[in-house]
Every structure is written in C-alpha cells, then in structure tokens.
C-alpha cells in the first residue's frame, strides 16, 4: 500500500516548500510575529524526527477545545487531493474499488461569525503550500493577516458555532472515522460537446432498418401547436466540467502517517484535482462519536493505520449469502 500511494501521489505534494523559503519573503516573515499564538505555532515546517516543543505547545493549546459530540453539531470539512483509484481488500478478502485522497497541509485560514460576517463558517486552505512569488499580493496579505502560509486551494465550510477553530489549526486525516460515510465534491472531467446518447443516456434510433442517418439523433424536441421548445429540454451540449458530488462514500481506511483516507468507489475529477470532503448529509454518518470539533494529534503518541469494520458474515460464502 505504501508503494501504491507514493506512486499515486501528485508531484506537487512530494516536494513541499520548507519554512526557510518563507523566511526569504519580508511579508511572510512577519507571519511568525502575528498576534495569533495558535497560528504561529501551527505554521507548517519540515517534519521533525521527534516531538518538538512547538508541537507539544500547540497540542496543549488545541486540546482545550475538545468537546463531546452531539448529533445536531456540524463539523468542518477538509480539502483533499485525488491521488487515484486502487483495489482495497478487506479482512474477508473481498475486493473493493476505492479512491485514495490526500489531506495534506490542510489548515483553518479564517473564522467567520454572525457578528462579523452574518453567518458561521470556517475558511479552510489545503492542497499544499504555495510559493510566495505565485501568490497574488492581496491574497498574500490575507494569509499574512491570519498568520497562515499560502495554500493552493481555499474554500469555506458552514459549521455550527461550537465547531469553530482558531486560524492555523491543522486538520488531519483522523478527523474522519473508519467506517463513516462522507460526501466528496469535485469538478468533473470535461467531456466537450456531446450528443444526447452520451450526455443523457438516450436509447437512440434502431441500428438496422428504417433509420436513415439518424441512429444517434435526439428525435422530437417539442409538440405540435406550442411553437417553441420547453426550457430544460435534454439536448446535445457541453458535458462535464462542472461541480459534482458523490454522496455517501464509506471510509475504508485512515492512514495518519501519510494523511491519507481511502473511500469506497469513485470521486469526481482527474488525478491531482481538489476535493471537498465532508461528513455525509443523508446516511448514518458515524459508527461512534467522532472527534469534535476535530482531531488534535499528540506529538508524543504514534497512530496506526485504521480500517473500517467488516461484517460478521463471510460475503464470499455461498451458504451465508443465499441461505
């Protein structure tokens, strides 16, 4: 599995800029001097060989925010990068088509409240740390004000007021539980201008007799006497290239070391595309209470790979399946 994930990992995430690069910029060097102590400690850096004092101090500050989860609470989502699809074998040996999603360098950028913005949300950045010279000056000022390094992608998640987190808080893969269901949103692959059979699944005309040069035509697009085509009529046009959401995907594996989750099924977009991963809206979401408002990693502890629980019945047994 380690070799598969490494081969699927986007090149942009294999060589993240170190903290020394940020020190060369005057604007970003002032980030460490910001008034936000959490953001100062949470600034990304090269992976330490052992638990550093900054990591321990950050964990002590963030662990005080832990609260018991209640059903009406709404947690934040994470920004992921699609690494690609791979086969996943559970404990019974059953094979599942799965997708690996990298949740690297995902952090809270800004907090929005009712008093300041009229609604409650968290602005989250992720997808890797971006080079300073490639960030627009206005965006660089926004990141500097919040005390967070620039990211490749940024989005907002509506949350309950109990789930608010300070800027600079890292969001890790263990935010999700193995066995829970998530909704994954991304931009679907663009297919260009396509006909009604591919775009909408029309059956088409007979392929043998009686259909002269109209095998893949749309057929009638209106009715007699109206004199126009009704709005929303399914016709040929541009396909794909829009936001698409896959609801209720089960989390099969959580890898804290690589910050990777593996979900069952496919997700929208190409390899390297950005994804919004949130708790499922419609299906039973959690096998047990999740970490709330998020998971805080203790640098003095090590976390193992966790797999989703499997059914007590053998899915490959003929007697158990059909009797």
Predicted local distance difference test score (pLDDT) of residue 107: 94
Q: What is the mean pLDDT of residues 39-53?
A: 48
Q: Which residue has the tokens 């964990």?
A: 59
Predicted local distance difference test score (pLDDT) of residue 320: 65
CA distance 164 to 69: 13
Long-range contacts for 63-69 (Cβ within 8 Å, ≥24 apart)?
A: 63/296, 63/298, 65/165, 65/293, 65/296, 66/291, 66/292, 66/293, 66/296, 67/162, 67/292, 67/293, 68/289, 68/292, 69/289, 69/290, 69/291, 69/292
Q: What is the mean pLDDT of residues 80-97?
A: 94
Higher-confidence residue: 212 or 196?
A: 196
Predicted local distance difference test score (pLDDT) of residue 322: 65
Higher-confidence residue: 84 or 49?
A: 84
Confidence class for position 318, pLDDT limits 50, 70, 90: confident
Q: Is the pLDDT of residue 309 over 80?
A: yes
- Alpha carbon 313 to chain centroid distance? 32
The percentage of residues in the chain with a pLDDT greater than 90, rounded to a whole number, is 61
- Between 47-61, 109-123, 183-197, 254-268, the lowest mean confidence (pLDDT) is in 47-61
3-class SS of residue 59: helix
Question: Alpha helix (H) ranges present in 109-159?
Answer: 114-117, 137-146
Q: What is the mean pLDDT of residues 5-18?
A: 43
Predicted local distance difference test score (pLDDT) of residue 210: 79
> How long is the chain?
323
- pLDDT, one tens digit per residue, over 138-187 is 889 999 999 999 999 999 999 999 999 999 999 999 999 999 999 999 99
Higher-confidence residue: 64 or 6?
A: 64
Predicted local distance difference test score (pLDDT) of residue 321: 63
CA distances (Å), origin 252, targets 78, 244, 284:
17, 21, 15
Q: What is the mean pLDDT of residues 9-28?
A: 39
Predicted local distance difference test score (pLDDT) of residue 39: 42
Predicted local distance difference test score (pLDDT) of residue 116: 93
The percentage of residues in the chain with a pLDDT greater than 70, rounded to a whole number, is 83
Of 126, 134, 180, 130, the closest CA to residue 156 belongs to 126
Predicted local distance difference test score (pLDDT) of residue 24: 33
C-beta of residue 76 within 8 angstroms of C-beta of residue 157: yes
Q: Which residues pair with 262 in a beta bridge?
A: 100, 253
Predicted local distance difference test score (pLDDT) of residue 9: 46
Q: Is the pLDDT of residue 48 over 60?
A: no
Predicted local distance difference test score (pLDDT) of residue 99: 97
Q: Which residues in 242-263 are b (16+ Cβ under 10 Å) and which e?
A: eeeebebbbbbbbbbebbbbbb
Predicted local distance difference test score (pLDDT) of residue 197: 96
Q: What is the mean pLDDT of residues 106-119?
A: 94
Phi, psi (deg, nearest 5) at residue 200: -120, -5
Query: What rounded mean pLDDT belongs to the chain?
Result: 84
Higher-confidence residue: 145 or 3?
A: 145
CA distances (Å), origin 237, targets 22, 191, 193, 205, 231:
46, 10, 5, 19, 14
Higher-confidence residue: 288 or 312?
A: 288
């Amino acid at each position: 599995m380690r070799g598969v994930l490494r081969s699927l990992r986007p090149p942009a995430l294999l060589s993240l800029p170190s903290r020394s690069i940020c020190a060369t910029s005057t604007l970003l060097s002032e980030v460490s001097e910001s008034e936000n102590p959490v953001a100062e400690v949470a600034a990304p850096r090269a992976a330490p060989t052992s638990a550093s004092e900054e990591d321990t101090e950050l964990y002590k500050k963030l662990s005080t925010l832990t609260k018991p989860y209640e059903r009406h609470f709404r947690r934040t989502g994470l920004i992921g990068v699609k690494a690609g699809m791979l086969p996943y074998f559970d404990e019974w040996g059953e094979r599942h088509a799965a997708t690996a999603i990298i949740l690297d360098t995902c952090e809270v950028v800004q907090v929005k409240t009712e008093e300041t913005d009229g609604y409650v949300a968290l602005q989250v950045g992720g997808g890797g740390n971006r080079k300073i010279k490639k960030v627009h000056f206005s965006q660089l000022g926004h990141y500097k004000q919040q005390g967070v390094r620039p990211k490749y992608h940024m989005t907002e998640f509506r949350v309950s007021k109990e789930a608010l987190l300070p800027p600079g808080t890292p969001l890790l893969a263990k935010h999700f539980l193995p066995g829970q269901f998530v909704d994954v949103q991304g931009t679907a692959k663009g297919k260009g201008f396509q006909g009604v059979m591919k775009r909408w699944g029309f059956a088409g005309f007979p392929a043998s007799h009686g259909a002269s040069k109209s095998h893949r035509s749309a057929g009638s697009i209106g009715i007699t006497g109206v004199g126009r085509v009704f709005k929303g009529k399914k016709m040929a046009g541009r396909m794909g290239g829009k936001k698409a959401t896959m609801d209720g995907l089960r989390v099969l594996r959580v890898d804290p070391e690589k910050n990777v989750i593996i979900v069952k099924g496919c997700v929208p977009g190409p390899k390297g595309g950005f994804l919004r991963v949130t708790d499922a809206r419609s299906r039973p979401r959690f096998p047990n209470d999740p970490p709330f408002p998020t998971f805080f990693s203790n640098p003095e502890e090590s976390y193992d790979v966790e797999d989703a629980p499997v059914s007590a019945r053998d899915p490959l047994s003929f007697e158990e399946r059909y009797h």
